[in-house]
Amino acid sequence: MTHVRELFDLTGRAAIITGGGTHLGTAMAETLAELGAAVYLASRRRELCESAAGQMRERGFDAAGAGCDVTDEAQVGTLVDRVVGERGRLDIMIANAGGSFTTTYIPEASVDEFRKSLDLNLTGTYICAQAAARVMIPKRRGKIITLGSIHGFLTADKRFYQGLKFRRSGPPYQAAKGGIINLTRSLAAELGEWNIQVNCISPGQIPRADTDPAMVEKARMNNPLEVVGRPEHLKGAVALLASRAGDWITGQNVVVDGGWSIW
């Protein structure tokens, strides 16, 4: 019987984390590196990814930065080819790149913003998953982790944001994240025969350093634990889903929100 510590060991594995240069992406990359994986942090902001990877190397981790626009199939393919060329494998793909672009709301909403949100969040996730699957299928193993949100299955209460210096996500973001959650289920069904597990992590409110303090406090009091969400709160879920410990988990949406969504 395998010891539980061995189940989480990622020594010798290779991973890509899109949107890896800041915030949640960096925390997830650190998780995999701490477990022994070689990690590639990638985003359109190559400099940020290279800087974050450099800081990880200073701590003794195997990390590299790369530029990649996840909405561009050729760029994603080039990134995957680089990892396979340098490591001989790709074991883990975390499709984290995304964001909210909401500046206008119904009934005067921008359709272009809707398309942009779908493209970056949903289409980008699809492109990354497909590129990873192409190299994982011949090996008959792999882990694909997508990033949803509590707003992928809950809408945003406009009243919560009143008086705050924080622009709430709107229908485009919520539609895109909802699509990612169900896309994850579909990918899990399609890829299961090749022993590839596909799961989604849906974070709750995890403020950035420059978030309005009033927003941070309101978010803290809006979950039962009354604890501010931090990027490292995702580490446990990432470790489980990226490792052999999660080999019999697929097609799931793992909610990490301090209990926000239970009431």
Using alpha carbons, select from 97, 114, 94 the residue that is nearest to residue 37. Answer: 94
Which amino acid, one-letter code, is at 197? Answer: Q
**Residue for token pair 């709750």:** 204
Burial of 1 (0-12, 13-18, 19+ CB in 10 A): exposed
- Does the predicted TM-score (pTM) go above 0.85? yes
Using alpha carbons, select from 186, 178, 181 the residue that is nearest to residue 152. Answer: 178
Q: What is the pLDDT along the chain (263 residues), one digit of tens a residue?
A: 789 999 999 999 999 999 999 999 999 999 999 999 999 999 999 999 999 999 999 999 999 999 999 999 999 999 999 999 999 999 999 999 999 988 889 999 999 999 999 999 999 999 999 999 999 999 999 999 999 999 999 998 888 888 888 888 899 999 999 999 999 999 999 999 999 999 999 999 999 988 999 999 999 999 999 999 999 999 999 999 999 999 999 999 999 999 999 98
Indicate if 40 belongs to the active site.
no
Q: Active-site residue among 105, 126, 161, 173?
A: 173
Could you tell me the residue ranges of all domains in the chain?
4-256
Fold of 4-256: Rossmann fold (3.40.50)
> Which DSSP helix (H) or strand (E) runs through 78?
helix 73-87
> What confidence tens digit (pLDDT) does each residue in 125-162 have?
999 999 999 999 999 999 999 999 999 999 988 888 88
